[in-house]
Amino acid sequence: MTRLRNPFSLKPDAGRKRHDAAAPQRTHSPNKPITIAITSGKGGVGKSNIAVNLATSIQQRGQQVTLVDLDMGLANADVLLNASPAHNLGHVIRGSKSVQEVAHRVGQGLTLIAGVPSGAEGIRNTTQIDQLVSEIKSASSEFIIFDCAAGIGFNVTHFARAADVVLVVTTPEPTALVDAYATVKTLCKEGYDGSVRLLVNMVESRQEARKAFSRVRDACEKFINFDIAEAGYVLHDTHVELAVRQREPFAQRYPKCSASLCISVIATRLVGAHAGTNGQNKGIFQRVAGMF
């Protein structure tokens, strides 16, 4: 099995606009959940698998997690979790259910808010997104994870901007790296004031992850004067596909496989930072700075 090293390296001001370094930072009540948006430019880079397994891994550490499937019309977190919720976000959008009523308990500590199925009415405007986000954020979880759709459509970036941390997922493929850069650029242009971090998935080695990260970081520094932070990496691992076929998170089914160990490192950091600062009057940047 591949030996894992700590995949994290964080400059203190990473994940923020350089020219905005003196601007007021996003503040965050310590008793509110930390919201993490998992997003990407290119599709199929592993967002849903990372969202589901990060949620599982955090929940295994005794935290309450709410996973929200925001891939409108192409929702599949319920499939990955082998869950059959009776209701989903489509019912909330239509006004027939509240977010609380569609929340589906998957296991101890993990709640799924299933996404809009294909053919159902999706989000129409940003006001609807804001209402939905504020309802979701009132959930009594320590962590809320958004599994977003790929791309830079208004609904994707609007959901992402509501999160404290945006994890932009990429693979080492040049096309995915270019699209990851485009995602960061869009968030930056839209004035996102949270923390933007790059997660490189399906890598063969730590070195490959570092190289991919450097390429996106360099482009962000050069063209948009924006510091992006390294969130970590997940190794390419055949157990991921096996677990998908078995409809069980790989972090649960194969806890010792290399992909699970990578996810575990990320989850441990997230939970450690949360536990270490919970109940104290600290801003979100101080809390997430300790995560990576």
Ligand X SMILES: Nc1ncnc2c1ncn2[C@@H]1O[C@H](COP(=O)(O)OP(=O)(O)OP(=O)(O)O)[C@@H](O)[C@H]1O
Residues engaged in binding ligand X (CB under 6 A): 40, 43-49, 71, 150, 201-202, 234, 236-237, 240-241, 244, 259
Q: DSSP state, 208?
A: H
Least distance between ligand X and beta carbon 190 (Å): 20
Q: State the residues that interact with Mg ion by CB under 5 A.
A: 47-48
Of the CA atoms within 13 Å of residue 274, those in its CB half-sphere come to 25
Q: Closest CB to ligand X among 47 and 287?
A: 47
Least distance between ligand X and beta carbon 292 (Å): 19
**CA 276, 263, 61, 108 torsion-angle sign:** positive
Q: Closest CB to ligand X among 99 and 234?
A: 234
Least distance between ligand X and beta carbon 234 (Å): 5
Find the Cα–Cα–Cα–Cα dihedral 88, 93, 94, 100, rounded to 10°: 50
Q: Which does 34 bind (CB under 5 to 8 A by kind): ligand X, Mg ion, none?
A: none
Q: Closest CB to ligand X among 42 and 274?
A: 42
Q: Which does 242 bind (CB under 5 to 8 A by kind): Mg ion, ligand X, none?
A: none
Q: Where are the beta strands (DSSP E) in the chain?
A: 34-40, 65-69, 104-107, 110-113, 143-150, 165-170, 195-203, 229-235
In the β-sheet with 195-203, what is the strand arrangement from edge to edge?
A: 104-107, 110-113, 65-69, 143-150, 34-40, 165-170, 195-203, 229-235
Please state, in angstroms and rounded to a whole number, the distance separating the CA atoms of residues 212 and 10: 16
Q: Which does 173 bind (CB under 5 to 8 A by kind): ligand X, Mg ion, none?
A: none
Least distance between Mg ion and beta carbon 47 (Å): 5
Q: DSSP state, 17?
A: B
Q: Which does 46 bind (CB under 5 to 8 A by kind): Mg ion, ligand X, none?
A: ligand X
- Mention every residue, 6+ apart, whose C-beta is less than 8 A from residue 214: none
Q: Closest CB to Mg ion among 50 and 58?
A: 50
Q: Closest CB to Mg ion among 35 and 48?
A: 48
**Residue 209 · residue 176 · CB < 8 Å:** no
Nearest-CB residue to Mg ion? 48
Q: DSSP state, 20?
A: G
Three-state DSSP at 145 gives: strand
CB atoms within 10 A of CB 234: 29
Q: Closest CB to Mg ion among 74 and 242?
A: 74
Q: Which does 101 bind (CB under 5 to 8 A by kind): Mg ion, ligand X, none?
A: none
Least distance between ligand X and beta carbon 203 (Å): 8
Least distance between ligand X and beta carbon 150 (Å): 4
Element (H, E) at 288: helix 284-289
Least distance between ligand X and beta carbon 153 (Å): 12
Q: Closest CB to ligand X among 54 and 284?
A: 54
Q: Which does 178 bind (CB under 5 to 8 A by kind): Mg ion, ligand X, none?
A: none
